[in-house]
Amino acid sequence: MAQSTLDSMPGASTGTVVITEPLNFWGGKRVKPREEKNAEPVFEPATGRVLCQMVPCGAEEVDEAIQSAYAAYQKWSKMAGMERARVMLEAARIIRERREKIAKLEAINNGKTITEALVNIDISWKSIEYYAGLAGTLAGQHIQLPGGAFAYSRREPLGVCVGIGAWNFPFVIATMKSAPALACGNAIVYKPSPMAPVTAVILAEIYKEAGVPDGLFCVVQGGAETGSLLCHHPKVAKVSFTGSVPTGKKVMEMSAKSVKQVTLELGGKSPLIIFKDCELENAVKGALMANFLTQGQVCCNGTRVFVQREIMPQFLEEVVKRTKAIPVGDPLLGSTRMGPLISKPQLEKVLGFVSQAKKEGARVLCGGDPFVPSDPKLKGGYFMSPCVLGTSNTLVNGGTAHAQSALFFNTQSLSTDNCRDDMTCVKEEIFGPVMSVLPFDTEEEVIQRANNTTFGLASGVFTRDISRAHRVAASMEAGTCFINNYNINPIELPFGGYKMSGFGRENGQVTIEYYSQLKTVVVEMGDVESLF
């Protein structure tokens, strides 16, 4: 087994790892790219150094991977669910055993902190364990018909599925797609993001070691072109896509040509609503969890934080204090709570949103600047200080919080020194550590404003009023609503979007339905009654 990448991990530190092994995997082994000519450098976000080369797969390589997956599917789909479960449980066990090494590699490639990367790897093996548990339960129905005839339904796999992933949760996304796919008896060809290509192949090796047939989980590297080859391939039955709305639309369009099933897990601009009767410290912690994990590059982040006017001063004071205290730096240090963004263009894009917000009248309450850590090896990294955009008055001296709110916030509608619903930073997905804080007055008003978006991935509400909490949750046009917390996404819970945030679900029992199809078998026990 080519385990050398992982073997080099225990002693590895930021700025030291170089990966030269092939990153494609099909037919049960790593596969060297056919041509190196379109190689793209992959950068270590913490240092800006080249970590490896990503060589995109062309049509022949994609076809080879899909043929290899199809051959594996023929074997795997004939195994009993319990047999598949056994192999999957072994894969989960191996991931768990190697969690530190895999997490380190993930943190090096993605820039997320080692603390978060470990949580991600734990989610990954739990996902495989969870779907292994369901593999043996897949069953149809028996339906009695008149005259002794009957029918039964069989839950069958789809065939070769394709997974296309984003760069923010590379290992998690690869497992969240492959675990339900394999449990149902499918094979899967996975294309990671060209910016985070290194851990998917580790997953492929682990599945192989656990005993899946060669080709069952393949990895092809590449960007838009390779993705498009996958979406057009006639042997592919389903495409599960995680990424942005514009790319999701293209994937859906390409898949429609050969009527492939599609799951779209797309972006968001989720609202987090904080009522004045909340437990304030929890609400502040929730707002930080909703905005700053993985440097704010999380699809379901609650980036529009609506705060009831009366508690705005206290909320802002506390949220700004805590945001300023977030230790930004080397992702491999246990004490770091925010690493670098994924790439230089992403950093520039996010800083651009902050500049635009200022031009449109928002006040930067903290952060929003490029950040250069003191450690010299991190000088070329893509760091920025976490940012809160909102109103400035609460940080003005003097007056009680209530007096301030009465004096200042009652005139807010006249002020431009504020986040407003029509600002770019409030309307568009930034995908970086930028929280926009907006005042509101009434429940009715905030529900309308929270839903006034084309996205619908997630939402959140903080209140002590149980009736209000459920009323607000029911009225959110979003696939998830968190009550009195945020970004709690265990694998047992269905996850996915409303509106332009996509359709289909990942995680939870329901995902079995997105990786399988029902066949109805009708059985006659008597003679055929023919009208002809």
Active-site amino acid positions: 265
Residues 286-300 as b or e (16 or more Cβ within 10 Å = b): bbbbbbbbbbbbbbb
Of the pair 267, 271, the CB lying nearest ligand NAD is at 267
Backbone φ/ψ region at 486: left (φ over 0), alpha (ψ -120 to 50), beta: beta
At closest approach, how far in Å is the CB of 161 from ligand NAD? Answer: 14
SS3 of residue 388 by DSSP: strand
Contact call for residue 120 and ligand NAD (CB under 6 A): no
Residue showing tokens 């902190």: 113
Contact call for residue 299 and ligand LLXZKTRF (CB under 6 A): yes
At closest approach, how far in Å is the CB of 231 from ligand NAD? Answer: 6
Q: At 260, list the tokens.
A: 């492939």
Contact call for residue 110 and ligand LLXZKTRF (CB under 6 A): no
Of the pair 367, 502, the CB lying nearest ligand LLXZKTRF is at 502
Indicate which of ligand NAD, ligand LLXZKTRF, none lies near residue 172 (CB less than 5 to 8 Å, by partner kind).
ligand LLXZKTRF
CA–CA dist 219, 200 (Å, integer): 7
Q: Select the residue interacting with ligand NAD from 457, 461, 469, 478 (CB under 6 A).
A: 457
Contact call for residue 458 and ligand LLXZKTRF (CB under 6 A): no
Q: Select the residue interacting with ligand NAD from 116, 310, 429, 443 (CB under 6 A).
A: 429
Beta-sheet strands, E only, within 468-515: 482-483, 502-503
Binding to ligand LLXZKTRF (CB under 6 A) within 121-140 occurs at 123
Q: Mask of contacts with ligand NAD, 467-506, x by CB under 6 A? A: ------------------------------x----x----
Taking residue 225's Cβ as centre, other Cβ atoms within 10 Å add up to 14
**Beta partners for residue 29, in sequence order:** 26
**Beta partners for residue 517, in sequence order:** 156
Of the pair 454, 520, the CB lying nearest ligand NAD is at 454
Q: At 92, list the tokens.
A: 């989960």
At closest approach, how far in Å is the CB of 52 from ligand LLXZKTRF? Answer: 23
Cα R_g (the chain), whole angstroms: 25
CA–CA dist 68, 71 (Å, integer): 5
At closest approach, how far in Å is the CB of 480 from ligand NAD? Answer: 10
Residues 367-394 as b or e (16 or more Cβ within 10 Å = b): bbeebebeeeebebbbbbbbbbbbbebb
- What angle do the packed helices 170-183 and 200-210 form, to 10 degrees? 40
CA–CA dist 170, 16 (Å, integer): 21
Binding to ligand NAD (CB under 6 A) within 177-236 occurs at 191, 193-194, 223-224, 227-228, 231
Binding to ligand LLXZKTRF (CB under 6 A) within 472-511 occurs at 489, 495
CA–CA dist 176, 127 (Å, integer): 6
**Beta partners for residue 153, in sequence order:** 520
Taking residue 489's Cβ as centre, other Cβ atoms within 10 Å add up to 20
Taking residue 406's Cβ as centre, other Cβ atoms within 10 Å add up to 14
Please give the DSSP secondary-structure letter assigned to residue 412: G
Indicate which of ligand LLXZKTRF, ligand NAD, none lies near residue 382 (CB less than 5 to 8 Å, by partner kind).
none
* Class of residue 136 by CB neighbours under 10 A (exposed 0-12, middle 13-18, buried 19+): middle
Indicate the helix (H) or strand (E) that contains 160.
strand 160-164
Contact call for residue 300 and ligand LLXZKTRF (CB under 6 A): yes
Indicate the helix (H) or strand (E) that contains 521.
strand 516-523
Contact call for residue 298 and ligand LLXZKTRF (CB under 6 A): yes
Indicate which of ligand NAD, ligand LLXZKTRF, none lies near residue 373 (CB less than 5 to 8 Å, by partner kind).
none
Kindly give, in sequence order, each residue whose CB lies less than 8 Å from that of residue 479, ignoring residues fewer than 6 positions away: 456, 457, 458, 494, 495, 496, 497, 498, 501, 505
Of the pair 58, 494, the CB lying nearest ligand LLXZKTRF is at 494
Evaluate whether 196 touches 294 at the Cβ level (below 8 Å). Answer: no
Of the pair 120, 418, the CB lying nearest ligand LLXZKTRF is at 120
Indicate which of ligand LLXZKTRF, ligand NAD, none lies near residue 372 (CB less than 5 to 8 Å, by partner kind).
none
Contact call for residue 299 and ligand NAD (CB under 6 A): yes
Indicate which of ligand NAD, ligand LLXZKTRF, none lies near residue 489 (CB less than 5 to 8 Å, by partner kind).
ligand LLXZKTRF
Return the sign of the alpha-carbon dihedral for residues 458, 46, 169, 333.
Answer: negative
Of the pair 68, 120, the CB lying nearest ligand LLXZKTRF is at 120
Could you tell me which stretch among 32-40, 151-159, 166-174, 370-378 binds ligand LLXZKTRF (CB under 6 A)?
166-174
Q: Select the residue interacting with ligand NAD from 180, 213, 243, 390 (CB under 6 A).
A: 243
Q: Where on the chain is the footprint of ligand LLXZKTRF (CB under 6 A)?
A: 120, 123, 168-169, 172, 298-300, 489, 495
Q: Where on the chain is the footprint of ligand NAD (CB under 6 A)?
A: 164-169, 191, 193-194, 223-224, 227-228, 231, 242-244, 247, 250-251, 265-268, 299, 429, 431, 457, 497, 502
